Amino acid sequence: MGIPVGGKNIFPSNIQGQPTWYFLRASAKGNTGFCYEADVTVAFNGQTIEEDHLATPGGGFFIFDESKIKSLKKREDVHYITVPIQDLVTQATSQVKLKKYLTNMIYVGILAEFLGLDGRVLETTIDEFLKSRTGILEINKKAVELGRSFVRNHPVQKIFPCRVSPLNENKGKILIDGNSAAALGLLVGGATFASWYPITPSTSLVESFEKYCHEYRKSADGKNNFAVVQAEDELSSICMVLGAGWNGARAFTATSGPGLSLMQEAAGYAYYAEIPSVVWDVQRAGPSTGMPTRTAQSDITSAHLSSHGDTRHPVLLPGDPFECYEFAQQALDLAEDLQTIVYVLSDLDIGMNIWRTDDFKYPEKPFHRGKVLSKEDLDRKSLSGKPYFRYADNDGDGIAYRALPGTRHPDAAYLTRGSGHNSKGLYTERSAEFMEVVDRLHKKWESAKKMVPQSICSESGNEIGIIHYGSTVEIVNEAKEILKEKGLACDSLRIRAIPFDEEIREFIFRKRAVYVLDLNQNGQIFELLKARFPECWTQMNSVRHYSGMPVQAAELAREVQNRERPDADRNKAGDL
């Protein structure tokens, strides 16, 4: 129908029996970010019905099954629709095992009727949804109709404020979750090897990748042009990726916080031995096991500075599924261009929720395979007559050449090692030789600044700015609208990678005050920015949200407002 929608699935770290919420937001303006205050609540969870009732905003509609609760203390400011769900579902079917599923469809019918949804649209949707299960098609339609007719002429219908009508807002848009999007990006980006250990919320990424590979990665003779290995732990999954990357493949692993911690030693190895590899971290709320099914942006520092010794790694920060798709391809390219480990930090909100996002483009450009020397290159001494040494800086950009294992040339071989090595790759404990290599790594880091996705600035000369990254795209846009209405027009800048680009510094300098939004308690990007741009720390303020839920536009707007006008009526001080 062309109406912008966004969905947030709030689910427990449990398989059966715990409450789950699904927030669906539709907005003609296109604001589809998380909003906790629901105009209409279908109280499906018996265990939390009182809680959900209290959370209903004034003027809201509360639809519930009276048999789920003996006595609900009704409020003056809420409209109630009580549904005799047992009666209705019994009318729909006598099959016990279908009853639970048909309950859903009765509520679908009720909502469709209140919203004035065209019956044909709903019918087509059900046909499409159940096209492979035609045996239960009619019974589902019957349940929808039972729901519709139950509330047809319901007194609430007259005051129900929401109606849907077709728009044309979704042209060139798709609805997709970030993990599927990443899997698609890795597919078209040419990843041939994945090793992983199951962990929420990253699991569906590798499972989607493997599914796509089975469908679209078969050779003419039926062989698999990919290998996916479920490893024994994350120590092994990252080490398999390093083995594959070292041997010339485009390889990745996907994980979340606890797995990221286990991969630390290998991260340092990849950095120092310069092995292309990609780690996709779908962040969840920590520390420790934390809340595996809740969202956060709390692995920024641990990914960026992963491992002991002097290490640092490029980190890509996709803002939505579209960028998951794009950055997956770019991460594979960057890993080979820079010959290092590259992290992509998505989060549970992007990874597992369905987002309305721009249509994906079919890739036209070839893969970047980086500075790889073939036997022929070595034969004709292509490095301007200079000999090939694995860790030498021939081009002055800090990026060395490599000859892959299997290159049949006497100069190709070297022994890759994590111990001290010189520019020839030979073991060394000599300070000057050691420093030559680590100083080149520093130069490579400088080169990386121009190669990673640059920040995106949305500016119209305001003196206040919001700096943010990752899953907060929609929220910041909406918060800016709210703030503008309150006379606090803001500009914004979205960081898309570490190392930080220079535009960030310029943006901060142009502002009187900048609010840096982090979905973590430590203010991780804020702290990294302070360290990187100490000359402009006085303008920078940290706004931190770490409840495990996505941040809401209203929360961000309120916090900026409180800081800008400390004397006005404050809702709450400090962190969100």
Rounded to 5 degrees, what are φ and ψ at 175?
-110, 120
For residue 338, which of 208, 499, 572 has the smallest C-alpha distance? Answer: 499
Closer by beta carbon to another protein, 182 or else 504: 182
DSSP 37: S
| Cis amide bond preceding 287, omega within 30 | yes
Question: 374 or 477, CB closer to another protein?
Answer: 374
Distance in Å, CB of 237 to another protein, minimum: 8
Tell me the two tokens of residue 133.
């299960």
CB of 303 to another protein, least distance (A): 19
Whether omega for the bond prior to residue 201 falls within 30 degrees of 0, making it cis, is: yes
Q: Which is nearer to another protein, 248 or 548 (CB)?
A: 248
**Do the strands 456-458 and 490-495 form a parallel or antiparallel pair, or are they unpaired?**
antiparallel
Minimum CB distance to another protein smaller for 88 or for 244: 244
Least Å distance, CB 409 to another protein, is: 8
Query: Which DSSP string corresponds to 254-301?
Result: EE-HHHHHHTHHHHHHHHHHT--EEEEEEE-B-STT-BTTS-----HH
Least gap, CB of 229 to another protein (angstroms): 7
Closest C-alpha to 274, from 372, 376, 408, 186: 372
Nearest to 480 by CA among 470, 467, 469, 471: 467
Between residues 175 and 383, which has the closer beta carbon with respect to another protein?
175
Q: How far is the CB of 30 from another protein (least distance, A)?
A: 17
Q: Is 540 helix (H, G, I), strand (E, B) or coil?
A: strand
Closer Cβ to another protein, 134 or 219, answer by number:
219
Q: What is 476-490 written as a DSSP string?
A: HHHHHHHHHHTT--E
- For residue 1, the SS3 value is coil
Nearest distance in Å: CB 428, another protein: 13
Torsion 380-381-382-385 (CA) sign: negative
DSSP label at residue 44? -
* CB-nearer residue toward another protein: 207 or 527: 207
Q: Count CB-CB contacts under 10 A for residue 465.
A: 24
User: Using CA atoms, how far apart are residues 516 and 380, in angstroms rounded to an integer?
Assistant: 52
- When the beta carbons of 218 and 512 are compared against another protein, the nearer one is 218
* Shortest reach from residue 225's CB to another protein, in Å: 5
C-alpha 25/C-alpha 35 separation (Å) is: 8
- For residue 3, the minimal CB distance to another protein (Å) is 14
**In the numeric block, which tokens belong to residue 275?**
């092995």
Question: Facing residues of 278 across strands?
Answer: 252, 342
Q: Which is nearer to another protein, 55 or 426 (CB)?
A: 426
Angle at 331 between CA 425 and CA 275, to 5 degrees: 15
Residue 259 or 523: the one with the smaller Cβ distance to another protein is 259
Which residues make up the interface to another protein (CB under 8 A)? 174-176, 180, 184, 187-188, 190, 192-193, 195, 212, 216-217, 219, 221-227, 229, 231-233, 235-237, 239-249, 251, 265-266, 269, 273, 359-360, 362-363, 366-367, 404-408, 410, 412-419, 427
CB closer to another protein out of 251 and 504: 251
Q: CB within 8 A of 362, min separation 6: which ones?
A: 188
Say how far apart CA 545 and CA 556 lie, in whole Å: 9
Please provide the size of the chain in residues: 576
Q: How far is the CB of 55 from another protein (least distance, A)?
A: 31
Token pair for 119: 């019956």
CA-to-CA distance for 437 and 443, rounded, in angstroms? 10
- 95 vs 225 by CB, closer to another protein: 225
Of the two residues 4 and 465, which places its CB atom closer to another protein in the complex? 4
What's the min distance (Å) between Cβ of 292 and another protein?
23
Supply the minimum distance, in Å, between the C-beta of residue 353 and another protein: 13
Residue 77 φ then ψ, to 5°? -95, 15
- CA 527 to each of CA 300, 452, 497: distance values in angstroms, whole numbers, following the listed order: 11, 20, 15
Pairing of strands 540-544, 5-10: unpaired
Pick the closer one to another protein by CB: 325 or 469.
325
Taking the C-alpha atoms of residue 229 and residue 253, their distance in angstroms, rounded to an integer, is 10
Q: How far apart are CA 209 and CA 195, in angstroms?
A: 11
Least distance from another protein to the Cβ atom of residue 263, Å:
11
CB of 379 to another protein, least distance (A): 14
**361 φ/ψ angles, rounded to the nearest 5 degrees:** -95, 140
Strand (E) or helix (H) holding 182: helix 178-188
Least distance to another protein from the beta carbon of 35, Å?
Answer: 23
